[in-house]
A and B are shown apart, each in its own frame.
Chain A
Amino acid sequence: MFKRILQEPLLHFLVVGSLLFFYLSSTDTETKSQVTISQGKIKQLTAQFTKTRQRTPSDEELDALIENQIREDLAFEHGVQMGLVENDSIIKRRVQQKIEFMLNDSIGSIEPSLEDLETYLTTHKEQYTIEPVYAFRHIYINPEQHDDVNAFILELQSNNLDKSYRNVGDSMMMQSEFVDISTAHIARLFGRKFSKNLDAISLKRWQGPVKSGYGVHLVYIDNKIPKHLATLEEVETQLRRDFRVDAQKKAVNSFYDELKVQYDVKVEEGQ
């Protein structure tokens, strides 16, 4: 039986074939992977150094820059061959970022026309509502300092507050008059309740008490620009920016929609 096997043509073929393979593979000149630091790259490294340090690199420093670059490229090439790139979520995300950045940069360079902005403003009206802006004065009343807050307020109101408002009421670490102050800013200083309450108050007379985060206030509104929808002129810069950001978001979404057509995406069912 052993003899018969030795006479098999298939075996001859396999033996000769593998000998030939080993012979060829050992004599074949190995093609080495290339790592090239081009003149362009060296120029770039030099430029980067100069822009960082505000001086040109010395010869030693340039050598070190090139050596760093060689090591980076070598490690990367070798790492890729070792399969280190596979399933590395950090590398994957970095690549994902890069591709989205490139897309965003491309889309971001599109300048919207005035018509584009007009349309954008009409479709996003609420986003560009300008809340009231005020000029007002106030008198602070700290409830902790009065047994009968209401009596104190009544007493205050019996005075000519237009003249005395700076010197009556309780002391507070806040100025007693504001000009050109936005609703958002008022909310920041006094709390949102106060800014909301202010909107309901009529102009040019002392009113209150209005509640804030610190107690109550008597308030005199000198002037008010009511809440209104912004005009193109008022918010053009923001519109341009937001239009672009929106376009970029949409571009990224369509990019993935498009990719899903290119690829067969499967999500495996659970048990």
Chain B
Amino acid sequence: MRLLHTPLLCALLATSMSYAEETKQPFSPYADRAYPTKLLFGEQHMHTALSADAGGGGTTLLPRDAYRFAKGEQVLSNTNQPAQRNRPLDFMCITEHTDGMGAITDILKGTPNVMNDKQGAELHKRFAQGGEVARRASQDLIKWFAQGEISPALNYQPGNPDYKRTWESLVQAAEEYNEPHHFTTMIAYEWTSLVKGNNLHRNVILRDGAERALQVLPFTMTPPMGSPNPQDLWKWLEAYEAKTGGQAIAIPHNGNLSNGIMYAIQDDFNNGAKFDIAYVTARAKWEKLMEISQAKGDGETHPKLSPNDEFADYETWDHGNLDLTNKKTDAMLPFEYARSTLKNGIKLEDELGVNPFKYGFVSGSDHHTAMSTGMDNNYFGAFTWGEPRKDRIVSTEGNVSIGKYNPKLEIGYDTWQYASPGPTAVWATSNTRAGIFDAMKRKEVYASTGPRISVRVFGGFDFSKEDIKQRDFARLGYAKGVPMGGDLKQAPKGKKAGFLIRALRDPEGANLDRVQVVKGWLDSKGETHEKVYDVAWSGDRKVGKDGKVPSVGDTVDLSVPTWTNTIGTAQLATFWEDPDFDASQKSFYYVRVIEIPTPRWTAYDAVRYKITNLPQNVKLKTQERAYTSPIWYSPSK
């Protein structure tokens, strides 16, 4: 049980409790805050021109541009439009596709040492002198490049006796822009496994800096160098940690494009064999998080999986697999979405003793533009071809602009269906690589579909109504329970699982409609179930006969477009006890915070480009949300 994270924290809290008993404040109000107090918002999934499908598709911006943009600087977009975020991000993971990552430097391979080359040696000398001499040398270099007079031996960096790989330049860019406590760059990549067009992609995120990252090369999917089998990726992670003493995790994404194989409950790389203990242990060890919300559709749940959840149909992408070579069937859905996967996880845990799907939640844009633009009023698209232009939703002739289409199967998606993505929120002790990575590993993170909603949840058996009123409720939360991502073990006799939940809207965003708890559990017959509880909401709405809080209403004016915060509320807080708690049942709980309706990016396009021929099916409004990582309850057997 991980009630308390470290012995140190334990000791500190014990001290503070004794202070509290004497109703004394500690002299320094900051002294005993060993728990995470910093809520950071960042991008967990980004491609730049270094990824073949981005660069080949016209993206010109590179990692350094991506960092500058994330930090709030204005950049010229890939289609030469000035672009800027409204607020800087706190951290960023650039996750280039690994396959083909080395191709850039093919031109450099096999070249002899620079210093053996006359031109190279001369340039090296001049560069080394710096100042005006170096400046003139660089002008010469540019000229030689242009005139084709560059010596073949110079196909690598002067002064560096080894040629540079893409991985090295990626790592170098990350090092340059990493400013601990201000802006953190995590060294990362995307392992791009695709099996028969079914998406098995995982982002790999390192805790470490260049000195460790450069001891290895990223894993790829083409055998024998790489492998499409996630189990081989886990071996890579194992080898990385053993070799470097560093730490890494893998984060799967877009189960919705995997046609039922991302979160399958059998080993498809071993003729569909049942998971063995080695498999589930490795998966639980390396895969702590899943990307639940993204440009290519939301991954929480599907309306067919959760028919009683009126918020389930959110940015749903269920046409087929990633490359649209196979249609989606209903049978695939349970193995693609978070909620059903968590349910399957507790079921597998019951059989095998280990839960392979103990996932916390993060967001990612998966933009291939080097620009993390999540806000609906500032949406620059997922690909360079999706950057703002008059006809990105509908052509002047009135045809819907197509993102991708397979005429043989008659499946595809339109450009308007891309969702403007959201940031990953992290409850960290500091804005550093270690601070962020450690929070990710203990799953004290959550996913937003766009706005910077603050949300915190603690689960335990000793909370009371009074606790939620405490100003320092986080201190209480850690002292008497576990945060999001945590575990609750056997409930004391007669006690129910209770939750302290607080949510605050984006300071520059829309009000909150409601806070919900999503529960999944395993009954005594081995069947899983789910239920969504409304636990806090704005105004004096009364729970209806169906047990649900009625709709908050809608203030969206599509002609501007805008909304008003005249409905909903700025913050919601509650103590909620599970009325259906059964101490003998394995279960999980996560919080879903829903905003009031706001204009979707398509509505901003419609007004800015004066689009008058919008087809009916183009969605123009959205209800953004945040999904916290779950808290699991496991009774002792």
Contact = CB atoms under 8 A, between A and B. Distances in A.
A171 B469 contact: yes
16 contacts: A60-B224, A61-B224, A90-B57, A94-B103, A94-B104, A97-B104, A101-B169, A106-B157, A109-B127, A110-B138, A171-B573, A173-B503, A212-B507, A213-B570, A251-B141, A259-B146
B87 interface: yes
A241 B176 contact: yes
A105 B156 contact: yes
Contacts of B55: 93-94, 97
Interface in A169-186: 171-177, 179, 182, 184
Contact of B456 (A109, A116, A173): A173
A166 interface: yes
Interface string B103-145: 1100111100000000000010001001100110111011101
Interface stretch (A3-11, A12-20, A50-58, A223-231): A50-58
A110 B125 CA distance: 11
B110 A38 contact: yes
A129 interface: no
B145 A102 contact: yes
Interface stretch (A41-49, A154-162, A196-204): A41-49
B220 interface: yes
Given A173-B571, A255-B146, A93 B506 contact: no
A205 interface: no
A61 B131 CA distance: 50
B569 A144 contact: yes
Which secondary structure characterizes the binding site on chain A? helix
Contact of A109 (B145, B160, B177, B239): B160
B224 A57 contact: yes
Interface stretch (B211-219, B264-272, B281-289): B211-219
Interface residues of A, number: 76
B308 interface: no
Nearest to B243: A54
A146 interface: no
Contacts of A110: 127, 130, 134-135, 137-138
| Interface residue range, chain B | 35 or more
4 nearest A-B pairs in the assembled complex, by CB-CB distance? A213-B507, A258-B146, A90-B56, A54-B239
A173 B145 contact: no
A192 B87 CA distance: 9
B504 A174 contact: yes
Contact of B155 (A49, A61, A102, A112): A102
A180 to B, nearest CB: 10
A65 interface: yes
A99 B177 contact: no
Contacts of B52: 90, 94
Contacts of A116: 131
A109 B159 contact: yes
Given A215-B570, A241-B177, A191 B110 contact: no
